[in-house]
Amino acid sequence: MLLGVKFVGGKGHQGIGMTRLCSPAVFSLASPRALLFDLDGTLVDTLGDFCAVLDAAFTECGWPTPSRAFVAATIGKGGEHLIRSALTHQGIPQDAYAMAAEAYQRHYEHLNGTHSQVFPGVSEALAGLHQRGLPLVCLTNKPQAFARTLLDRKGLLACFSAVWGGDSFERKKPDPLPIVRSAELLGLRAQQVWMIGDSRNDAQAARAAGAPVMLVAYGYNHGEPVEQAGADAVLESLLELPPMLDEAAAREAG
């Protein structure tokens, strides 16, 4: 059993892990054929990067900079959404978007990864999952090139079979298309993969695609309680994933 598990609105189980919230359905999930991971707020704490880049871009343009709290509540839907939201929040007309976006992209290339840290347990969990031979995919709304650079700088890139960004498909999460297409590119159906993220973007995309979804408790989730995002489980650490995979495999083995 998973340690610290408690059902939403029901009784829980005590066992070996640290998962603190799940739906009863988590105990009947089939073993995944691949794992899809969000990046910002799931693998790497990039809030400092976003704040530094926005500060540099807005200062260059002569505008007031948004607060760290605003950035934390806004990230997760891609750079364009973040920039446009910051413009509105700071009272800057949207027709300044092109100038803001150019400055943002330029500063991000320079600052990517310099103010961010890998979350505790992530490196160990990914290394262990990679050794199992299970395909791991990074599926993020961050541009693919920025995502690959960040993963490389943090020593995580080698664990992934593929990295797909917000510019890899026609639509971004929370649209289900990135999950559906990622599964297809692996020769799988969405129901055969697990999505691991930190926000309702990931949960909504996974639900619409038909994929199970686990959310981490330490991410951003737009400033909202992650327990309300509709995940199959909320994890305190990615180190809880291997026991969940073992339990699913044991159920299937009978």
Catalytic residues: 38
Query: Encoding tokens for residue 15?
Result: 């066992």
| CA 60 – CA 7 distance, rounded (Å) | 49
Contact assessment for residue 213 and residue 194, using Cβ atoms and an 8 Å cutoff: yes
Q: Is there a binding annotation on residue 38?
A: yes
Q: Is there a binding annotation on residue 202?
A: no
Contact assessment for residue 197 and residue 77, using Cβ atoms and an 8 Å cutoff: no
Phi-psi region of 196 (alpha: psi -120 to 50; beta: other; left: phi over 0): beta
* CB atoms near residue 198 (< 10 Å): 30
Contact assessment for residue 228 and residue 235, using Cβ atoms and an 8 Å cutoff: no
* CB atoms near residue 15 (< 10 Å): 13
Coil, strand or helix: which one is 125? helix
CB-based contacts of 187, cutoff 8 Å, min separation 6: none
Query: Encoding tokens for residue 71?
Result: 């950035």
**In the beta sheet, which residues pair with residue 194?**
35
CA 234, 187, 153 angle in degrees (round to 5)? 60
Coil, strand or helix: which one is 4? coil
Contact assessment for residue 32 and residue 250, using Cβ atoms and an 8 Å cutoff: no
Q: Is there a binding annotation on residue 49?
A: no
Binding residue ranges: 38, 40, 198
Binding residue ranges for Mg(2+): 38, 40, 198
